[in-house]
Chains A and B, each alone.
Chain A
Amino acid sequence: MTEPRAELLQGTLDILVLKTLASGPLHGWGISKRIQQVSRELLTVNQGSLYPALYRLEDRGFVAGEEGHSDEGRRIKLYRLTPGGRRELAREIESWERFATGMRYVLGTG
C-alpha cells in the first residue's frame, strides 16, 4: 500500500458509482472493487462513504436495489441504474468535463 493514491474529490463518488453501474448491476463490494480496478488502483472507495452514497442515490431514485445472488448462492442486494440515473450520469459527466477543462486551462496543462 505504498503507491500513491488519489483522494476522492468531494461529490465525485456519485458519478463514479453511476458510471460503474452503467455497465450492469453490481453489489456494494463489487462497485468498490470495480472502481479500484478501472482506475488502475489510483482511486479507492472508502466503505464508509460508499454505502451512504448508495442510499442517497437510491433515495433520489437514480439507482434501484434488487434481489440478487452471490457466487455462493446467498441472497444479496444488487444495485441497478434507473433511466433517471442514466440521465443524471449524462448530466454529471457533462458538468465534470466542463470542470476538468476549466481546471486544465487554469493550471496551464491544457
Chain B
Amino acid sequence: MFSRLFMIPLLPLLGAAYLMLFGRRHSRAVVQTLASLTVFASFVIAADAFFFALPKVVHQGGISELVYTWFSAGTVDVDLALRMDALSGLLCLVVTFIGALIHVYSAGYMAHEHDYPRFFAYLNLFCGAMLTLVLGDSLPVVFIGWEGVGLASYLLIGFWYKETANASAGKKAFITNRIGDFGFLLGTFLIFRATGTLDIPAILDSARTGHALAAPLWLGQPVAFWAGLFFFVGAAGKSAQIPLYVWLPDAMAGPTPVSALIHAATMVTAGVYLVARMSAVYMVAPAALAVVAIVGAVTALFAALIGFAQNDFKKVLAYSTVSQLGFMFVGVGTGNFAGGIFHLFTHAFFKAGLFLCAGSVMHAMSGSGDITQMGGLAKRLPWTTRVFQICWLAICGVPVFSGFFSKDAILGGAFATEVYGHGLAWVGPLVGVLLGLAALGTAFYMSRLYFLVFTGPCRASDEVKHHIHESPVSMVFPLVVLAAGAALSGFVGVPPALRELVGKHGESTLSVWLEPAVGAPLEISHAIEWAGMGVSTLIALSGIGLAYVFFGGGYRAPAHAFVHALPRFVALVRDKFRVDELYAFLFIRPLASLCRVTFQYVDRILIDKILIGGWAFLADLGGRICRFVQVGDVQRYLAVFVIGLTALVWIAARPTAPGEVEVVVENHTARITLLDTPSSPDKLTYSFDFDGDGIPDRASATPTATWVYSGPGHYTASVFIEDARWHTRRTFKQDIDIR
C-alpha cells in the first residue's frame, strides 16, 4: 500500500492552486488533462487505500492519518487528521470517480468557453474541499471542507458572473448556506461543551458509552437532541431541505457539469453524510431523528410537487434533487443510516447522469433548456437518449435499476423502524406514506420530462432544429459510464429477501461494510420487504403510466384539460408555491428596510456626521482658535520665549522643599521642625505663622520654631522659606491639633 490519505484531497487542491496561478500559460488541452488527472489520481489513491486495506477500513475503525496538530488550546488538541472508514471511503470513491468523469465531460462541454482555466481550477478546488469534508476526522477539519465546498459552489454558480442573475444566484446559495453553517457551528460548540472533544471517533464513543450527550439541556431534551438539531440545520442548508432549499434551483445558473457534480451528486449530499457520520449522536436522541425524517419526507413530497410544473430541464432536475435528498434524510432519519447512504450512492450515479444528459441536450439545443420547445430528440441524440432512459428508470424506481433497491431500502426502513420508541412511533409510518406519494410524484415528473423531451414531434424552431447534433465523445463517454453505474450500482445493496433467491444469506455487502461506521442495518421482515418492493414497483409504473396519459408523445388532451380546469393551482405550482416571494416578504424586505434605516440614521448621521464629522469639527475649531497665536512675527515669538524662560528660571531658583516636617505637640506647645533641609541653610531664612492670620509669628535662620497656643483647637500653621539673595520663597501649610 503506497497511499497516503492526505494525498487524496491535496492533489486536487494543488491542481486548483496551479491552474489559478499559471493556468493561462497553458493550452486548453494541458489544463483539461491536468485538472482531470489530479482528480483521477485521487480516485486511484482512494481506491487503493480502500480496497487493499478493506478489512482494516471496514472493521478496525478505518485508516487514520495525522497530518499535523493544527492547534492546541488547554487540554484540547485539534489535529488535521484524516480517516477513511467504510462511510468516508465510499463517499471518497463516489466523489473522485464522478468528479473525474465530470472533468472529462467538462472538457467537451466547455469547449467554447475562453475562461477555461478558472473553471477547471474551481472544479479542482471543489473536489479538494469535498474530500477534506469527507475524510476529516474532527469537526473543525470537516468544517473547513464544509466551507470550502460552499465557496467552490458559490464561485461556480456565478461562473458566468457577467449576467447579474447568475451572480445573485451564487450569492443566494452562499448566504443560505451560511445560515446552515451557523447551525453546524452551534452543534459543534454544544458537542464540545458536553464531551470536551472535537474528534469525531471520540464524540461517537462518548455518545455510545457515556452519559455526557444524554444529559438534559433545554426543555428537558438531551444535549444530543439539540446538537443533532443544529447539525441538521447545517445539513438542511447544504443539502437543500425545507426551509433552506430555495438556493438549489437557482444554483442551476452555473454550468451544467457543475450542477451535475456539486448540486446533484456530491456537495448537496454532504448534509446526509454529516447526519450519518454523527449517527451515534442521533441515536441518543430519537426526537432529533424524527425531525430529520419528517423534514426530509415533507421536502421530498413538496419538491416533487413543484417538479410537476417546471418547464426548464435543469429546474426539473434541481427539484428532483431536492426531493431525492429528502428521501436520503428520511433514510438516515429513520435510523436506517445504511439505507440513506445507499440512496446517496445510487443517486450520485443516476442524477449525475441525468444532469449530464441535460447538458448534452442543451448543448444540442443551442443552449436552451426550455422543454416546451423540445420533443422527439430520441432520433437525433441516440446515446444521450439511451443513457437518459436508464437513469430515468433508475430514479423512478423500476425494478433491477439501482434506484429501485435504494428507494425500497428507505421505504421499507420507514415502516420497519423502531428507533423512535413508543411516543414517536407514528413518525415511521407517516414519513413512509409521504415518501410513497413522493415516489409516485418522482416517477410522474421524471416521465413527463422524458416524454416531453425525447418523444413525439419536435417543437423547436427550424433554426434550432437544424443544429441538433449528438455530443462529442468526451461528453458521451462519461454518460455511458454513469449509465452503467445507474443500472448496476444497486446490486451492492440488494435486500436480504432477494439475496435468498440467489442462495445468499444475510445483509447486503454495503450494509455489512457500513455497519461499524453507522450501526447495524434495520431488521426488516421479509413480509414488509416483499410488500415494499411490490408497492414501489406499482408506484413507479403507475407514475410512468400517468405521465404517459398526460404527456406521452408531447402535450396531450388530459394535460391541457387539467391546466384548463385548475389554472390557478397550476400557476401556483409553476411559481414554486411562491416560497421565494414569501421569504422576500418575511425576511428580505424587513431586513432591507432595517438596513436602509440604519444606513440613513446610524451610518450617515451618527457615524459620518457626529462621530467622524464631530471630531473633524473639534480639530478644526482648535486650529481656528490656536491660529490667533501664530502672528508670524519672529520677534513676538522670541518675546514669548524670553518671558517663558524667565518664569522657568524663577521657578527653578526657589528654595527646595524640605524632605519631611516634624510636629511635636506637648500640652499647648507645638514645635515645628523641618527635617532634611537643603545643604546650605545659612542662605535661607524661615518664618512661621502659627495662628493662621497670614502674619509671621516667628522668624529664624534655623528651620525650627515653637509656639504656645492659648487653648485647644484645630489650627493651620504656615511655613515660609525665603532665599534672601533672589527674593524667592516657598510656602506650605501644616495642620496642628491642640487638645
Are A and B co-members of a single complex? no
